[in-house]
Each structure stands twice: as C-alpha cells, then as structure tokens.
Structure 1
Amino acid sequence: MRVATLVPGLAGRGVLLAAPDDAERVRRALVDGGFAVAEVAGPAAGLREAQAAIARALRLPETAGRNLDALVDSLRDLATWWPDDERVALLWPGAEELVEGDLPGFLTLTEILRAATDDLWRGGGPGDRQFETVAFVRRHGVRALGDA
C-alpha cells in the first residue's frame, strides 16, 4: 500500500510533500499502515548535511552520508539495514531549509530517494522493500491536509 493511499492529499510520488502541521497525522497513519518509520533529525541547509542526516536516519553506512554513489548503493541494499521491515518510510521534517538553502541539493537528494522507491519494489520477492519519503515543507505551495 502506498503512502498516498494511507494519507490522501499528499503531493508527489516516491517523495511526497506534506505540511509540518500534518507530521503527527502522517506518522500515525504510516505506523498504523505497517510502515517502519525513520525520521531525519533536524533541518539541514546544505546537501551534505542533509545527506548525512538521511543516511543516519535510515541506519545506512557512514559512507552513504558523505558520498552520493554510496547513498545510492546503500539505498539499493535497504533490506540489509532494515531486515525485518518490508515497508520503510522516511520522514524528513524541516526539508524547506534545504529547499531554501540549496535547491539543487534538495532536487538531487529527492531524485535519489525517488529512484530508490522505484528500484526497491519488484513485486514482493526476497529483499524487496516498499520505501517512500515524506518531506515536510512549510510554504512553497504545500498545503495542510485540512486545507486540501
């Protein structure tokens, strides 16, 4: 089941955008829907800082926090880092800090996360993982679910 099915009104695919006011509602829906939830700790205004925070949240190797190729490879091996969880959701509060501080960096990371979403599920075979990201963004046209 996709995150957008559990939380109708979120914008995007693979990386969904949500208003920060909806964070607890989104978290609760994901947990109730059977997702393991990883949460990025704190906002980051630069690519490398955000990359490292994402790698830490997902329990990826340290190199994934410093090297984009290592991040891509580690995400492909998500089953190694989350062996007991077929559904993993990454919650990214404060994502607007990166949007405002380094838009190209935000686009790079969201493309990597979106590609991981597409690559990780191949129909439910061994090692498949359903993986999606919810980036909480204040402003920039992201509306609260009650406003949608």
Structure 2
Amino acid sequence: MNGAAAVRVGKLLPGLRGRGVLLAAPADAERVRRALAEGGYAVAEVEGDTSGLREAQAAIARALRLPATAGRNLDALVDSLRDLATWWPDDERVALLWPGAERLVEADLPGFLTLTDILRAATDDLWRGGGPGDRLFETVAFVGGHGVRALREGPA
C-alpha cells in the first residue's frame, strides 16, 4: 500500500465528525461521494430499510458484499469485516456510505451504537500501517438532524 492509501476520510472532508464512523448531513451526500471517488476510495452504499438493527445489519452486509451470515449474526459480521480484503481484493480503500442512518438512530439507538461500534472496530483492525492485506475502511453515516451540520462551502 502506498502513502496515499493512508489518507483518511476526515482528511478529505475535514468538516465531518468522528473516527472510523463519520457523521454527515444528507445534503452533503454528493460532495462526500465525489471526494471519496477523487480520493481513490471504492464506495459501497447501504440501500433499503435500515430502521431496525437486523435490517441495517443485513443492508450493511449486502453493501459490502459480505456473506449472508454477516447480515444475520453480529459475530459473523465482525469476522467478515476482518476479512474485508477477501471481499474487496482489488480495493485498498473502501468507504461505506449509509444514507438514512437517522432512521436507526430514532428507532433503535442501542442498535445504531452496536453497529457503529462494530464498524469503528473494523476500521481499527483493518489498518496496521500499510502492510499486505491492510485496508483503509471507514463509514460515513448520513444523519438528518440530531445536531449533524452540513459541511461549509468550499473545496471538498
């Protein structure tokens, strides 16, 4: 992995808050997608209902091309994320975009915190300094309201 691979999402978009799982306003979705593409990230996007823990878990697993068991079992999700290089062999930088994440925040805050803890831990586990198999993995959760502010105008 080269030095450019270590550029985290927060460096590309310094207005986003968080580490591993960054929060963004839905209005910034296109700007975030563009910055990630320009930054060399492969982008996976969560689709479908994410208003419950299991629905969100399954949608995250589908978006990341993980085995079906990762969408049903939290331990399998953790294990599959550790093996992200298996599912994304050609991509050293992978960003997961989670539009509508506020639906889970509002319906099941503990479930949201469980999933974001798992995703954040994967971020930490997957990057060991740029060796073979390392992946730079981060999640951008688009949350409407809840104090999440839009990025300021200016370069992405």
Question: TM-score if structure 1 supplies the norm length?
Answer: 0.98
Q: Give the CA deviation at 1:146.
A: 2.3
**2:107 equivalent in structure 1:** 101
Query: Structure 1: how far apart are the matches of 2:146 and 2:41?
Result: 27
Tell me if 1:123 matches 2:126: no
SS at match of 1:122: coil
Query: Structure 1: how far apart are the matches of 2:30 and 2:50?
Result: 20
Identity over the aligned pairs, expressed in percent?
A: 85
**2:34 equivalent in structure 1:** 28
Query: Structure 2: how far apart are the matches of 1:66 and 1:127?
Result: 26
After the TM superposition, which parts of structure 1 deviate over 4 Å for at least 4 consecutive aligned residues?
Answer: none
Tell me if 1:140 matches 2:143: no
| Cα deviation 1:89-120 (Å, max 9, x = unaligned) | 00000000000000000000000000000000
Q: Gapped runs of 5+ residues in structure 1?
A: none
SS at match of 1:145: coil
SS at match of 1:139: coil
Residue 132 of structure 1 aligns to which amino acid in structure 2?
A: E
Tell me if 1:12 matches 2:18: yes
Bigger shift: residues 95-104 or 40-49: 40-49
Tell me if 1:3 matches 2:6: no
Question: TM-score if structure 2 supplies the norm length?
Answer: 0.93
Computed over aligned residues only, the root mean square deviation of the Cα atoms, in angstroms, reads 0.8
The number of residue pairs the alignment matches comes to 147
